[in-house]
Amino acid sequence: MHKTKRGWLFPLLAGMALAGCSPKAPTAAPAPAPIAASQPVQAASPLLGQWNGPEGTSLRIDGGGGKYALTIRNLDGPRTFQGRGEGDTIHFDRDGKALTIRPGDGAASGMKWLADKKNCVVIESGEGYCRD
């Protein structure tokens, strides 16, 4: 009778000891907290993405949350800048000059190649980019 008790007791104790040393099973990540109705949800800026100009020029806007990476490609090649959002505009500095990217149309760019375009952004007179 003594052997029988020991026969089941040892494996039970050994299993309990090993269970304490074994790696823990992964736990599920906590669910994200729901957004309260009072917290505004920021939509993606309509300015994000690729904007094309004449003769292979372009403007690429990436980022969000008020911080933007701008890549402006002109005939000399691409250059990158950091922009900061304010309303429906993006402000940045280029060669010591404060500039703004703002929505507009081709006529607002002052460029004859873009004059009939409707969905554009304008940096300054003579510099605009469009999507249509």
Tens digit of pLDDT for each residue in 25-81? 555 555 555 444 443 434 568 999 999 999 999 999 999 889 999 999 999 999 999
Coil vs helix vs strand at 106? helix
- 9 pLDDT above the threshold of 90: no
Instruction: Please say whether the beta carbons of 124 and 99 come within 8 A.
Output: yes
Say what percent of the chain tops pLDDT 90.
Answer: 63
* Model confidence, pTM: 0.66
Strand partners, 92: 83, 99
R_g over Cα of the chain: 30
**pLDDT reported for residue 38:** 40
- Classify the C-alpha dihedral 56-131-123-43 as positive or negative: negative
